[in-house]
């Protein structure tokens, strides 16, 4: 289905202006031609003058219509700019909504994971006294104490790093047995790499044999088939 353009009841203002100016140019040429003759015809001059006055009135009307047209066109351009600005804002809002939707999905997923962890913790609670005792035992050798909460006398008992005595009492030292201190400051000599080359055996060549292009070779390995 094709949509036909609406019928124009009036010609465009541009065409009307050009036609009016052409008419006035023609009338002025005729008027000066009549006035330039030795015996100008009064009736013809008056007729041309009346047509010029009518054409001038039409030109004034067309000028007013043109001003209205320009005002309407300017309002259309302003409205078009506003529409483009609103479309840009709508696109930005849509992008923000999509970003917020993704963040909301991540928050919902994280909340579900936290709920599952909470349920698992409530179902299998930890023994708090044993956990605290284990943490206190580890804190002597694995974590630095908070200086603001310890008195000067306690700071000496809890150094911020494991001492040699505490390390010797640990499980790793007991499993290792005796421990000796290695040499420091010495670099071992580089051991030269030996290339492992395998000597390939050489087969003796029979000088009595020569290549025979007409020779027939039997590749049957089953000697008992006959």
pLDDT tens digit string along 131-182?
Answer: 777 777 776 665 555 555 666 666 666 665 666 776 677 666 676 655 555 4
Over the chain (226 residues), the average pLDDT of each successive run of 10 is 46 83 88 81 85 88 89 92 94 94 94 92 79 74 56 63 68 62 51 59 58 61 54
**Other Cβ atoms closer than 10 A to 48:** 21
- Report the pLDDT value the prediction gives residue 16, as an integer from 0 to 100: 86
Question: What's the confidence (pLDDT) of residue 6?
Answer: 44
What pLDDT is attached to residue 15?
86
pLDDT of residue 154: 64
Residue-level pLDDT at 12: 80
Q: What's the confidence (pLDDT) of residue 2?
A: 44
Angle between helical axes of 13-36 and 42-123 (0-180°, round to 10): 160
* Gap between the Cα atoms of 129 and 200, Å rounded: 73
Helix or strand holding residue 61 (H, E): helix 42-123
Most distant CA pair in the chain, distance:
147
| Number of residues assigned to the chain | 226
The rounded Cα 75 to chain-centroid distance in angstroms is 38
Sign (positive/negative) of CA torsion 217, 221, 225, 226? positive
What pLDDT score was predicted for residue 84? Answer: 93
């Amino acid at each position: 289905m094709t949509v036909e353009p609406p019928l124009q009841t009036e010609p465009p203002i541009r065409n009307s202006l050009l036609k009016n100016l052409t008419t006035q140019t023609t009338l002025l040429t005729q008027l000066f031609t009549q006035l330039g003759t030795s015996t100008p015809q009064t009736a013809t001059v008056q007729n041309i003058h009346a047509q010029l006055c009518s054409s001038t009135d039409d030109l004034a009307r067309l000028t007013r219509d043109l001003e209205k047209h320009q005002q309407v066109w300017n309002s259309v351009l302003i409205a078009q700019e506003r529409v483009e600005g609103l479309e840009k804002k709508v696109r930005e809002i849509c992008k923000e909504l999509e970003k917020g939707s993704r963040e909301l999905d991540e928050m919902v997923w994280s909340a579900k994971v936290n709920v599952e962890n909470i349920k698992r913790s409530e179902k299998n609670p930890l023994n708090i006294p044993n956990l605290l005792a284990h943490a206190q035992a580890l804190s002597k050798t694995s974590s630095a104490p908070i200086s603001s909460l310890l008195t000067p006398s306690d700071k000496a008992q809890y150094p911020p790093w494991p001492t040699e005595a505490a390390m010797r009492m640990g499980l790793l030292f007991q499993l290792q047995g005796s421990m000796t201190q290695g040499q420091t400051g010495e670099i071992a000599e580089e051991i030269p790499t030996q290339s492992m080359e395998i000597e390939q055996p050489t087969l003796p060549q029979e000088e009595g044999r020569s290549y025979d292009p007409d020779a027939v070779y039997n590749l049957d390995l089953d000697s008992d088939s006959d």
